[in-house]
């Protein structure tokens, strides 16, 4: 794997998101298998791993900490605060919570669960409209000065919010959903990141699995799988959105690649400061996805993809309305 930079932070050009080992995609796999896959990703060149307190809640950080303990000094681990998780019970309440005292509680608890001395990259998971972003950035700055955190990130934040935060504490990375069929960061967030030297980390770069071609209108989702309630994953939407997968398949056939590899290669070709993080529970999928870094898309390829995708209307909002309301604030 080649190296890219999120601000001053050097990481593998593709990272690994571990949320799928919680229950967001249905029942979680056995712990031993999850550890095998996470360690397998590292052995294949991944050095950026992403988790969050809310994944579980809490269980995912414990898993990631244990899985990466043998290689702790050779990896970058990102975690997140910002949802309203009760610090005593782990029960997730409504809304978000980025009050300074809550941030400090979450960081101490995350360090304990990960069994780390410091958090490499700490994201605000969603912007809290009740707490000025300057207060959030200032709190993280204090945590960096205390040695508990190394780098500050924001997730799903608006460009104006990112700029305000960056003025208080330099933002290393911004994480938002971004892929061939979800392009909201392009008008404002990506240009700002480029201007300020901030890295950009697309989550769901494979469209929560849809862009791999493994999902169609007949696919059944477990009741605990978030796609079961996602507007973009209704049966009607999946049927209509096959046009996006058909495009990827066509490009993939010409490159002797898979649709997933083309989807990741497209992101890597967009900007040199983009580091996508995919998620999977299978080691063979890890290997397949990392193969996307070896695919070169020429300017002609990128123009062909752009022309084709512009002729396709993606059906369905990317997330339920209540979740979307937390983004770009």
Determine the Cα–Cα distance for residues 248 and 254; give it in Å rounded to an integer: 10
The DSSP 8-state label assigned to residue 228 in this structure reads G
Determine the Cα–Cα distance for residues 234 and 230; give it in Å rounded to an integer: 7
231-235: long-range contacts at Cβ-Cβ below 8 A with a sequence spacing of 24 or more?
231/316, 231/317, 231/318, 231/319, 231/320, 232/207, 232/314, 232/315, 232/316, 232/317, 232/318, 232/319, 233/208, 233/316, 234/316
Instruction: Catalogue the E-assigned strands of the chain.
Output: 3-6, 9-12, 15-17, 48-50, 76-81, 83-85, 92-96, 119-124, 149-155, 171-177, 199-203, 277-278
Taking alpha carbons only, the member of 294, 251, 268 closest to residue 201 is 268
Catalytic residue among 42, 55, 123, 178: 55
DSSP 103-142: HHHHHHHHHHHHT-SSEEEEEESS--TTS-HHHHHHHHHH
Given this model, what pLDDT does residue 28 score? 83
Non-local (6+) Cβ contacts of 182 within 8 A are 204, 207, 314, 318
Given this model, what pLDDT does residue 273 score? 98
Taking alpha carbons only, the member of 17, 60, 47 closest to residue 204 is 17
Given this model, what pLDDT does residue 321 score? 96
Fold of 3-324: TIM Barrel (3.20.20)
Taking alpha carbons only, the member of 161, 165, 178 closest to residue 275 is 178
Non-local (6+) Cβ contacts of 218 within 8 A are none
Contact, 281 vs 21, CB < 8 A?
yes
Ramachandran area for residue 197 (φ above 0: left; ψ -120 to 50: alpha; else beta)? left
Q: For this structure, is 178 an active site residue?
A: no
Q: What tens-digit pLDDT sequence spans the chain (329 residues)? A: 999 999 999 999 999 999 999 977 888 889 999 999 999 999 999 999 999 999 999 999 999 999 999 999 999 999 999 999 999 999 999 999 999 999 999 999 999 999 999 999 999 999 999 999 999 999 999 999 999 999 999 999 999 999 999 999 999 999 999 999 999 999 999 999 999 999 999 999 999 999 999 999 999 999 989 999 999 999 999 999 999 999 999 999 999 999 999 999 999 999 999 999 999 999 999 999 999 999 999 999 999 999 999 999 999 999 999 999 999 99
Given this model, what pLDDT does residue 147 score? 98
Taking alpha carbons only, the member of 171, 170, 178 closest to residue 211 is 178
Given this model, what pLDDT does residue 27 score? 80
Within 10 angstroms of residue 197's Cβ, the number of other Cβ atoms is 15
Question: What three-state secondary structure class fits 224?
Answer: coil
DSSP 67-94: HHGGGGGG-EEEEEE-EEE-TTT--EEE
Given this model, what pLDDT does residue 26 score? 80
Determine the Cα–Cα distance for residues 170 and 196; give it in Å rounded to an integer: 9
With residues binned 3-state (H G I as helix, E B as strand, rest as coil), the percentages for the chain, rounded to 5, are 45, 20, 35
Determine the Cα–Cα distance for residues 109 and 115; give it in Å rounded to an integer: 10
Taking alpha carbons only, the member of 125, 108, 105 closest to residue 117 is 108
How wide is the angle at C-alpha 315 spanned by C-alphas 124 and 252, nearest 5°?
85
């Amino acid at each position: 794997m080649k190296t890219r930079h999120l601000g001053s932070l050097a990481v593998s050009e593709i990272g690994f998101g571990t949320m799928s080992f919680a229950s967001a995609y249905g029942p979680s796999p056995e712990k031993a298998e999850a550890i095998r896959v996470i360690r397998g990703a590292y052995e294949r060149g991944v050095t950026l791993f992403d988790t969050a307190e809310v994944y579980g809640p809490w269980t995912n950080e414990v898993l990631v900490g244990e899985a990466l303990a043998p290689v702790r000094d050779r990896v970058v681990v990102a975690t997140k605060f910002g949802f309203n998780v009760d610090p005593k019970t782990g029960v997730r309440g409504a809304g978000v919570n980025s009050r300074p005292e809550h941030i400090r509680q979450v960081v101490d608890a995350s360090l304990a669960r990960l069994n780390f001395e410091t958090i490499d990259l700490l994201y605000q998971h969603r912007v809290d409209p009740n707490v000025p972003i300057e207060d959030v950035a200032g709190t993280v700055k204090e945590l960096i000065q205390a040695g508990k955190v190394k780098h500050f990130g924001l997730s799903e934040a608006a460009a104006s919010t990112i700029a305000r935060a960056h003025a208080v504490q330099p933002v290393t990375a911004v994480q938002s959903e971004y892929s061939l069929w979800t392009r909201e960061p392009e008008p404002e967030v990506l240009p700002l990141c480029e201007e300020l030297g901030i890295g950009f980390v697309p989550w769901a770069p494979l469209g929560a699995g849809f862009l791999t071609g493994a999902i169609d209108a007949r696919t059944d989702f477990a009741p605990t799988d978030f796609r079961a309630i996602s507007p973009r994953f209704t049966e009607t939407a999946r049927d209509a959105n096959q046009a996006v997968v058909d495009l990827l398949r066509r490009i993939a056939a010409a490159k002797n690649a898979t649709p997933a590899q083309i989807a990741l290669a497209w992101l890597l070709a967009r900007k040199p400061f983009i580091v996508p993080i995919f998620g999977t529970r299978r080691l063979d999928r890890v290997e397949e996805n990392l193969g996307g870094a070896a695919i070169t898309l020429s300017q002609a390829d990128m123009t062909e993809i752009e022309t084709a995708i512009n002729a396709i209307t993606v059906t369905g909002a990317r997330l339920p309305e209540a979740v979307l309301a937390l983004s770009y604030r």
